[in-house]
Amino acid sequence: MPEQAQAVPLSASLAAVLKEAGWDLSDAPPERPPWHGRAACRGKGNDAFFPATDDRRPSAQKAYAQALMYCRACPVINECRRAGQHEMFGLWGGLSPSQRKRSGPHQAQEVPGHLWHQGRAATA
């Protein structure tokens, strides 16, 4: 049986690849903003938030539905939405890439917490 590789945070592995490729990361921002520590998804893994397929496919929709359970209860949903407003991949602040694209390049709209807790995140 092959030895299992130890899980390495994506940011650390990406930084290693970029450094190996010759990128200068001396001016790189801190690894994680302070609000990450309060996120409901912290420690839950990336699979549901970053499915390896087009976000409109049924398998991605199923993954996003699982991830939204965390987003709906998250105390930092608005910070996450702002941070991910220009990201091309993954669920950020309860929005998929296609939802972010439809909402346009304007400032990320904040969602009142009571809407998340009532399950209306997709319509807010």
Is 17 part of a structural domain of the chain?
A: no
Q: Return the bridge partners of 95, or none.
A: 92
Chain mean position to CA 106: 19
Q: Are 51 and 63 in contact (CB under 8 A)?
A: yes
So what's the pLDDT on residue 4? 46
The total of structural domains in the chain comes to 1
Give SS3 for 47: coil
> What CA–CA distance (Å, rounded) separates 37 from 51?
22
Is 19 part of a structural domain of the chain?
A: no
> What CA–CA distance (Å, rounded) separates 102 from 37?
29
Is 9 part of a structural domain of the chain?
A: no
Is 67 part of a structural domain of the chain?
A: yes
What's 52's DSSP letter? S
Residue of 95, 115, 102, 86 whose CA lies nearest to 49: 95
- Contacts of residue 73, Cβ cutoff 8 Å, sequence gap at least 6: 40, 116, 117
pLDDT in tens, the chain (124 residues): 444 444 444 466 667 777 787 777 666 555 778 898 999 999 888 888 888 877 788 888 888 899 999 999 999 999 999 999 888 889 999 998 888 888 765 544 555 544 444 444 443 3
Is 41 part of a structural domain of the chain?
A: yes
Domain extent, residue 81, equals 34-123
> What CA–CA distance (Å, rounded) separates 86 from 104?
9
How many CA atoms does the CB half-sphere of 34 hold within 13 Å?
0
So what's the pLDDT on residue 105? 56
* Amino acid, single-letter form, for residue 50: F
